[in-house]
Structures are given as structure tokens and as C-alpha cells.
Amino acid sequence: MPGPVRGSNAAHMAGPLQNSGWDRYFMSMHLDLHIHTTAYSRCSKLTPDAMAIAAKRAGLDGVCVTEHNRIWKEREARALEDKHGIAIFRGMEVTTTGGDIIVFGLEEEPRQMWIPAMPNVKADAGWPHISEQPLYPLTPMLLKAKVDAVRGVAIAAHPFRRFRVFGVGELPVSLAEATSRTTLAHVHGIEVHNSMDTSQENDLALKVADAMGLLKCGGSDAHTDTAVGACVTRFDEWIHDERELVEAILGGRFIISSMSQ
Ligand SMILES: [Zn+2]
Ligand SMILES: [Zn+2]
């Protein structure tokens, strides 16, 4: 990717302060915002313990677990946090009719949104795997309404990955066509760096984010331990919980980069 990318034009605080009781509140925090584990994502080979170990090895201060359509329980996150001494934030990667959307701040899972319409389906009857077979008409617009109602944040994941399917050397889409995707009208930001995407896909996403004034986000989308930390988001403040994470993202108070930069 072409160097660190600022989330938006928000003001940044001074660098880390040393030797101060307040340094925890002024130091920067490095997170990976997009990771799947075996806890709830069947497609992942990464156990929660392996994720925590890999994250510490990569120099991260914390990770965001973003399982497909499932959110970790609070106690699960705290237990892993205590065990490994690394911050664990809970989000979801929600399957919608307009593609995958990462959300933070939203506790309600898609299966809960649609259970009333499907009285014969029990909450735990196989739903962890719905990402592979979306059976519900969850649109980006509805998801955004849910997210906004709790003042969360919605980020389009790998927004142009679908073009890789066709194996094209050049993305067959103009910037105008790309920005007209309906999904992009119902998110606060988009991933301009997803480590599982090609540089062409990420570059197009960056152009689209610039053109539309969307927050420029990123994540590793790790499903294995070697991918954890492949894309790092730096916050120039210490994030204590998902509420602060949402506020920092919505405020654009972050920069994405790889750890090697
Ligand atoms: Zn995805
Ligand atoms: Zn993902």
C-alpha cells in the first residue's frame, strides 16, 4: 500500500509522553481491526489463543475480533484479554445483500434481527454458519439504521474484492461506477487496505474513499496466525472499550499502515 493513510482530517495528539502517570492516555495504540477466529468463524484456522499470541508477536496492543455474523460475548473477550495481556475488542463482519460490512458498537446479531420472521428457527440452530448461506434479506441500509441507532460504525469490508473472482488484470470499473455502488451510501467508511485483497483492489478502494469522503479503514482479515497484524491501525490515544473505539473511528482519529513501515 502507498504509505500510511490517515482516517480523516481529524487533529492528532502529540506523540507518546514518557515518565508520566498520564502516558497511558496519550500514548498511541496499535490494533488490527479485522480478524476471524475458530471461536465463531468456521472459515478460520486461527484459535483465539493463537490470535492473541500472534498479535503480541506482531507488536500489537490489541485486536478486534470480527467474526462472520457473530459477536463475541463480553466475558469471552475479557477472559482472553486477562489470559494474554492484550486488548480484545468485539465487532462483527455482517453479511448483507451489498457485501460484507464490519460493524463496531452493535451487539445485535443478524440472526436476532430476523428470528421473529422465522418462528421455526431456534437462535442456535445452525446459525453460526449463515455467512456461507445468507438466507435473510439484510440490506446495507437496514444494517446502517441498526448501527446508527446505537451510534456504532459501519465499514464496508474489502469493497472491491469481487473483481478478483474474474481474474482480470485491470479492474473493469471506472471510479464513477465504483462510487455509485449502493452499499457505499450506507457505511461510514471502507477498507482501503485489506491484506487479503490485491493492491489493485485496495487502490481502487482508496480512490473511492477519497472521492466520497469516507473514512479510510483497514485490517488484516486474518484467518491464520501469520496474517495477524498484516495491516495495523494506529490510534493516538488509548482505547479502553468498544465505545471509545467507535468514537475514535467516527472521529477519524487513526492512521492505517503495515507494521513494517
Ligand atoms: Zn469478508
Ligand atoms: Zn473478514
Which residue type occupies 68?
H
Residue 47 exposure: Cα atoms within 13 Å on the Cβ side = 3
Average pLDDT over the chain, rounded to an integer: 83
Residue 194 has pLDDT above 90, yes or no: yes
C-alpha 198/C-alpha 215 separation (Å) is: 20
What is the residue range of 81's domain? 28-257
CA angle 234/73/28 to nearest 5° reads: 15
pLDDT band at 162 (very low <50, low <70, confident <90, very high): low
Q: How buried is residue 199: exposed, middle or buried, by Cβ count under 10 Å (0-12/13-18/19+)?
A: exposed
Predicted model pTM:
0.83
Q: What is the pLDDT of residue 244?
A: 97
Residue located via cell numbers 501469520? 226
The CATH code of the domain that includes 157 is 3.20.20.140
In the chain, what percentage of residues exceed pLDDT 90?
Answer: 66
CA of 173 to the centre of ligand 1 (A): 20
Q: How many residues does the chain have?
A: 261
Q: Are 183 and 97 in contact (CB under 8 A)?
A: no
CA of 13 to the centre of ligand 2 (A): 30
pLDDT in tens, 8-36: 433 333 333 333 445 555 689 999 999 99
Domain assignment present for residue 79? The answer is yes
Q: In this structure, which ligand is nearest to the CA of 34?
A: 2
Q: What is the pLDDT of residue 114?
A: 61
Domain assignment present for residue 159? The answer is yes
Domain assignment present for residue 152? The answer is yes
CA of 132 to the centre of ligand 1 (A): 11
pLDDT band at 111 (very low <50, low <70, confident <90, very high): confident
Number of domains in the chain: 1
Residue 128 has pLDDT above 70, yes or no: no
Q: What is the pLDDT of residue 222?
A: 97
Ion ligand 1 residues within 5 Å by Cβ: 100, 157
CA of 100 to the centre of ligand 1 (A): 5
For 163, residues 6+ apart whose C-beta sits below 8 A from its C-beta are 171, 172, 173, 200, 201
Domain assignment present for residue 225? The answer is yes
Q: How buried is residue 108: exposed, middle or buried, by Cβ count under 10 Å (0-12/13-18/19+)?
A: middle
Residue 85 CB: number of other CB atoms within 10 A? 8
The three grid cell numbers given for residue 42, joined into one nine-digit string: 468456521
Ion ligand 2 residues within 5 Å by Cβ: 93, 221
CA of 217 to the centre of ligand 1 (A): 14
Q: What is the pLDDT of residue 113?
A: 73
Q: Which residues pair with 6 in a beta bridge?
A: 255
DSSP designation for 140: H
C-alpha 12/C-alpha 203 separation (Å) is: 25
CA of 191 to the centre of ligand 2 (A): 11
Domain assignment present for residue 163? The answer is yes
Domain assignment present for residue 203? The answer is yes
Domain assignment present for residue 105? The answer is yes
CA of 93 to the centre of ligand 1 (A): 7
Domain assignment present for residue 9? The answer is no
